[in-house]
Amino acid sequence: MPSHNTRLIRLIGLFKLLKGVLLIAVGIGAFKMIHSDLTDVATRLVIRFGLDPGGRHVGKLLLETANLTPDRIRAVGVGSFVYAALFLTEGTGLLMAKRWAEWFSVIITSSLVPFEIYEIYRHPTALKFFALLVNIAVVVYLVYRIRTDDPAPQKHSKV
Query: What pLDDT sits at residue 151?
Result: 57
User: What Rg value do the Cα atoms of the chain yield, rounded?
Assistant: 21
Tell me how far apart the alpha carbons of residues 71 and 25 are, in angstroms, rounded to a whole number: 18
Residues 92 and 25 in one domain: yes
Would the pLDDT of 2 be above 50?
yes
Same domain, 51 and 127: no
Does residue 104 share a domain with residue 91?
no
Cα–Cα distance, 79 to 75 (Å, whole number):
6
- Among residues 91, 129, 136, 90, the alpha carbon closest in space to that of 113 is found at 136
What's the total number of domains in the chain?
2
Give the rounded percent of residues in the chain with a pLDDT score beyond 90. 60
Please tell me whether residue 123 adopts helix, strand or coil conformation. coil
Q: Are residue 57 and residue 126 in the same domain, yes or no?
A: no
If asked whether residues 72 and 124 sit together in one domain, one would say no
91 and 19 share one domain:
yes
Model pLDDT for residues 29-43, shown as the tens digit of each residue: 999 999 888 888 888
Is there a contact between 48 and 122 (Cβ–Cβ < 8 Å)? no
Helix, strand or coil, per DSSP, at residue 85:
helix
pLDDT tens figures, 62-84: 888 888 889 999 999 999 999 99
Which domain covers residue 113, as residue numbers?
99-150
Verify that 87 and 131 share a domain, yes or no: no
Task: Note the helical H segments in 34-125.
Answer: 38-48, 56-66, 70-95, 99-122
Burial profile 28-48: b = 16 or more Cβ within 10 angstroms, e = fewer: eebbebbeeebbeebbeebee
One domain for residues 12 and 43: yes
* pTM of the complete model beyond 0.85: no
